[in-house]
Chains A and B, each alone.
Chain A
Amino acid sequence: MRSERVEEYLEAISKRQKTEMPVSTSSLAADLGVSLPAVTDMIRRLEAEGLINYEPNRGVSLTAEGSRAALTTIRRHRLWERFLTDILGLRWDKVHDAACRLEHAISPDMEESLASLLSYTDTCPHGNPIPDKNGHVKDQDVRPLSEFEVGQKVRISAVVKEDGRLLRKIEKWGLKPKAIVKIKRKDDDGTLELKLDGQKLLLDKTTADYLMAICVSPGEEAADEEIPMSKLQTGEFGVLKSYTGGKEMLGRCLSMGFTPGSTVKMVENFGRGPVLAKVHDVEVALGQGMAARIIVTRMNPQC
């Protein structure tokens, strides 16, 4: 079995490789919080064991074997994090360091039991993918939030830097994975203005670099996103959440059966002109304006 130290290095190189290839010794030193000479020392040892390739003055990259070893460590790390949050109930900003220690003290059998206990979950609490037993990582079209353009609507998928303070900040802003944000403005220094649940939020570039996100294609919004009923396409179902109209509108909605919690079927919506919605087994014709003031979430017809 490889030493804890070796595994730490392989893990760090593997993570770094996503953005930097080959990985320079100085970034490695920064990531691991050790001195440059210490890094150089270790690199020689890893190269000798055939785990990495080292090009002087350029940097290091993992060999196939090194990569497999790194992924195993990453898998164990993320499984432990899941265990700590889901089973032990620790907060997501407190589990990284503990997992760093636990990841090295585990046998393949234990790893398998842990995965099974966690129902083979495929992400860590911070949204990063857990490689499977064979070291395969589920392909995802994710990019750092800082790389998206103005006007794009994206879903946060993961936080790559698992630093307690950063995580707490992100949680406070409501940017935890699955949050959907729209990029309203992008300054020259990379600062982003985001729209999140109708709120404005300014995000510096460094933080935006640590947040991985994925594009939300129009029409394919998350199932729990609240949208005006007028956005439901013909044949789609929705669950009524709330209203944005005045009191008089509320009375009419309630008496026509549009109560919160009701299932609504959009029978006809041509985008312009009145829409036809079915609620409580009754077809109701509604003007576009009226339909826009009734807020629903999309529902999968199979449910």
Chain B
Amino acid sequence: MLEQPEKPDKKTVVVALAGAPNVGKSTVFNILTGLSQHVGNWPGKTVEQKTGIARHNGLTLQLVDLPGTYSLTANSMEEQIARDYLVTEKPDVVVALLNAASLDRHLYLVTELMELTPRLIVALNMVDVARQEGMNIDVKALESALHMPVVPMVASKNRGLKELVEVIAQKCTQAVDSPAVGHVEYGSKISGDIAHIEGLLTDADTSPYPRHWAAMKVLEGDSQINKLLHDRLSQDRQAELDSFLSDKESAAITLAGLRFDWVKNVLSSAQERPAIGRGSVTERLDRAATHPIWGLAVLAAVMILVFLIVYGIGVPVQHFLQVSLIERVQTLVFDHAHFMPGWLQSFLGNGLLGGVGTVLTFLPILFLFFIAWGLLEDVGYTARVAFVTDRFMHLLGLHGKSSLPLLLGFGCNVPAVMGTRIIESKRARLLTVLLAPLIPCAGRMAVIGVIAAAIFGGQAILVTAGIIAFSLVVLVVSGLLMKRFILEGERAVLMMELPLYHEPNPRTIGLVSWQRTIAFIKRAGTIILVVSIIIWVLSYFPSGSIEGSVLGHIGRGLQPVGRLMGLNWQLMVALLTSFVAKENTIATLGVLLGREKAGLSQALKGMLTPAAAIAFLVAQVLFVPCVATVSAIRQETGGWRWVAFSVGLQLILSLSLAIVIFQIARLA
């Protein structure tokens, strides 16, 4: 599963990092590996895999970040990946990262991990938060109760990580004291049942899983193991197993109960708890943040603040880059590079700079938005967003978790589509993927801003707000319609942890935002570049000017449709090129209407009536997802089928609604 290091070195130690979501796993991982990490997907899965290298005293640690899981029963893809990795790759050391403030809960994972690996280290993160919540942990007592090393740390303040690396180094140089894995004492009843199942499995191949472990999982009713064995067991044995299991339905509950009992026992000597009933800091903060009314007010305030900051800083930067970088170089290319052939000038100036260049000027806005969102994620607020929006998402048959990728979509639809991975149900994920491109992203907002300012002057803000509100209404209505077909009969079930609030770690936020931006640049650098070139070719050949080009012809061919919404062929071409990237609409119009400063605004005023302008904005904001989003949809839905659906849906929505609005607006 893992990429092997080039030179298999004796001193390379594979360290797997296990832990529940929200325990600060990525913070620990990022600090240990810095930028030397590889982000990809687990083979064949849409679950992110991160690996990286850390060095310590001549020892090379290869770190593998396992997906965040609460347990190792195959309830989700993440849990399956984590346990399969432990079983098949047998990492040298497994670090269980636990939240010190909710050890009671997090030690459960340890009870499952210790059944799969003998070399386990417990890293206790957020001991500061635990103290703040009134819990004191006696590390020595915990170590002796668990029979494994325990390292207390505060990853967000870079405390305790050095010690962790030292303990890892120590652990892997030690001979394994007992190669056998440990487990919780299950009592004679359950142990007997496991032994009986193990007996039934003697002839069956349980690999890669240890037989004893497989027997326990069978007793727990683990669907994946059952499926695996179903193909490998003889029919008689299968029948025997089924009849043995028929009255063992509560075994999963009993096992889970025993594990929690064990945890309670371990903690009884090692943890000092606050009196029950005392409200924690988090509970007090949540009284506002999760309140049905105040919670929405808090959410609205937070989102407004995010947009004010992001656009307040981002838009001037974007403008600066556009004017003093892209346009200056364009001028250079067109006015001073006469030694180049005309097509090259056009290619560099319009194709590259106008296309990809313009897209890249939006990076600061995106990056800022990702930072703001990363901050909200890191302090633990986004989980509250899911909570307060849950009841509204229920209207669409979705639950609160879906609102997180959708909100991220206001920055860029690409991470929004990829962000749907947090939703457990496949169908709910699909619906969210299809809704995400209907969120007006930063690129579309920029187009709306420019055109509204040109046509409506002082009322531009109102028009912009109206268009955004309209696109959200379309989103809700499409969601209501699609839910019938996509979610048929499925119930949205929300069940998610609300992590304790904690201080944000700038490093983690920076890294997460950087990775999201890089993911976007990679797409911009490949797909957007390719499509930009194709569009340029279409707009240059055969005549050398856009008017006589293939694109020009296509635009004119679309004129009958355009006329229905009051748009001429140039605007139809601009709409088409927004497929490359939404912000390209402006660049295309610049090329088509002349590049003189202020000329664009004047030219727009000359050819767009207010009714046509509204129709154009509606068409633009709802038009087919950009190529980067399309490729993300393909990746997340695993095929072209839903891409075709999404593109078709938005094409129909955008054109038909624009026509209707133009016709009504003209009458009014």
Contact = CB atoms under 8 A, between A and B. Distances in A.
A278 B282 CA distance: 11
B276 A279 contact: no
B495 A286 contact: yes
Interface in A272-296: 272-274, 276, 278-287, 289-290
Given A250-B252, A252-B495, A290-B493, A285 B390 contact: yes
B108 interface: yes
A257 B390 contact: no
A244 B445 CA distance: 48
B347 interface: no
Nearest to B276: A301
B580 to A, nearest CB: 40
B496 interface: yes
Interface string A248-264: 11111111110111110
A162 interface: no
Interface in B482-519: 491-500
A257 B386 contact: no
Nearest to A279: B105
Contacts of B69: 255
Nearest to B109: A255
A280 B498 contact: no
A272 B108 CA distance: 31
Given A257-B108, A276-B290, A280-B104, A287 B70 contact: no
Q: Which of B102, B103, B386 has the most CB of A within 10 A?
A: B102
Contact of A261 (B260, B282, B500): B260
A255 B75 contact: yes
Given A256-B70, A257-B105, A287-B493, A274 B390 contact: yes
B182 to A, nearest CB: 21
A177 to B, nearest CB: 31
A281 B73 CA distance: 21
A285 B494 contact: yes
Contacts of B79: 255
Given A251-B73, A254-B256, A256-B70, A283 B391 contact: no
B411 interface: no
A285 B221 CA distance: 26
A267 interface: yes
B421 interface: no
B227 to A, nearest CB: 14
B71 interface: yes
A247 interface: yes
B283 interface: yes
Contacts of A274: 387, 390-391, 400, 494
Contacts of A289: 491, 493
A132 interface: no
A47 interface: no
Interface in A223-279: 237, 247-257, 259-263, 267-268, 270, 272-274, 276, 278-279
A254 B286 contact: no
A281 to B, nearest CB: 4
Nearest to B498: A283
Given A250-B252, A254-B253, A281-B104, A273 B496 contact: no
A280 B105 contact: yes
A251 B260 CA distance: 15
B127 to A, nearest CB: 14
B5 interface: no
B572 interface: no
Nearest to A254: B256
Contact of A270 (B105, B221, B292, B492): B292
A287 B276 contact: no
B387 to A, nearest CB: 5
Contacts of B400: 274, 285
Contacts of A285: 290, 383, 386-387, 390, 400, 494-498
B495 A256 contact: yes
Contacts of B500: 283
B257 A260 contact: yes
26 contacts: A249-B493, A254-B73, A254-B253, A255-B70, A255-B75, A256-B495, A257-B70, A259-B257, A260-B253, A263-B276, A268-B287, A268-B290, A270-B292, A273-B292, A274-B387, A274-B390, A274-B494, A276-B290, A280-B105, A283-B283, A283-B498, A284-B496, A285-B383, A285-B390, A286-B495, A290-B495
What are the 3 tightest A-B residue pairs by CB atom distance, in nearest-first order? A280-B105, A281-B102, A255-B71
Given A259-B256, A301-B276, 12 more contacts: A247-B221, A251-B252, A252-B495, A254-B256, A260-B253, A270-B292, A273-B390, A278-B283, A280-B108, A283-B283, A285-B400, A290-B493
